[in-house]
Amino acid sequence: MDDRRFPLTFLIAVAFAALVGWATPALPAEDSSESVILVAKRQLQDPFYRATVVLTRSMGNDQHIGVILNRPTKLTLGELFPDHKPSHLVRDPVYVGGPTSTSVIFAIVQRHDSPGGKALQMMPEVFMVFEGSTVDQIIEKQPAQARFVAGLVAWQPGELRDEIKRGAWYVLNADPALVLRKPTEGMWEELVRRAEFSANGI
């Protein structure tokens, strides 16, 4: 992929590294223990987050980062990058990952070890990749084990905790099976019913 099409890629990676205090290319597995799935409650009517399912990870200091799992676009990588031949082999749509850095393509990939580059372990065997060259490698070598998203969700200290207190989200245990689930149609309906039943003691 030609990074010149997304000139913010490097800046976002640098800014994110500063946010989380990167010391190693990928955070170790034990540091990803605070990942959860957020399910938007029915009363959450925000036009961006309504009926969403979000994989979320604590970054420490009450900050969080996440990616929406169930909002496919009508565009493919091949349509976004017509001059990048490997992108044309990825038939799945690009997903909207969140409202932050929407001009940058990230990869959510399921694998046993870190893909290298600027990668953040979201949960065991699930990594979020920020570095453009590493995203390219995933497109070329293992697209079937990945989801490609435009943008992400970032919460400043205390923001997510306040949203949960206000009743915006159900919080479920992180489930790797949801991350690359295809298709995502019906995912929110299934999970919101599950959360409601649990909340009601059913």
Domains assigned to the chain: 3-199 (3.40.1740.10)
Q: What is the average pLDDT across 5-32? A: 38
* CA separation for the pair 94, 115 (Å, rounded): 20
Query: Quick one: average pLDDT of 100-106?
Result: 94
Residue 21 has pLDDT above 80, yes or no: no
Question: Taking 70 as the threshold, does the pLDDT of residue 22 lie above it?
Answer: no
In this prediction, residue 34 carries a pLDDT of: 82
Closest CA to 188 of 180, 178, 201: 178
pLDDT the model gives residue 201: 56
Mean pLDDT of the chain: 85
- Of the candidate ranges 11-15, 33-37, 134-138, 197-201, the one whose mean pLDDT is the lowest: 11-15
Which class for 66: exposed (0-12), middle (13-18), buried (19 or more C-beta within 10 A)? Answer: buried
Confidence of residue 5 (pLDDT cuts 50, 70, 90): very low
Q: What is the pLDDT of residue 10?
A: 37
Q: Note the pLDDT tens digit of each residue in 151-168.
A: 999 999 999 999 999 999
Largest CA distance in the chain: 53
Question: Rounded distance, CA 95 to CA 105, Å?
Answer: 9
Distance between CA atoms of residues 127 and 181, nearest Å: 15
With H, G, I as helix, E, B as strand and everything else as coil, classify residue 92: coil
113/125 Cα distance (integer angstroms): 7
Q: At what angle do helices 132-141 and 8-20 cross, to 10 degrees?
A: 110
43 close to 49: Cβ distance less than 8 angstroms: no
- ∠ CA 87-93-99, nearest 5°, is 105
What's the pTM?
Answer: 0.83
Query: How much is the average pLDDT of 106-113?
Result: 95
Q: Which residues contact 173 (CB under 8 A, 6 or more apart)?
A: 36, 37
pLDDT of residue 107: 97
CA distances from 73 to 96, 149, 190 (A): 7, 9, 21
Condensed to tens digits (0 to 9), the pLDDT of residues 81-98 reads 999 999 999 999 999 999
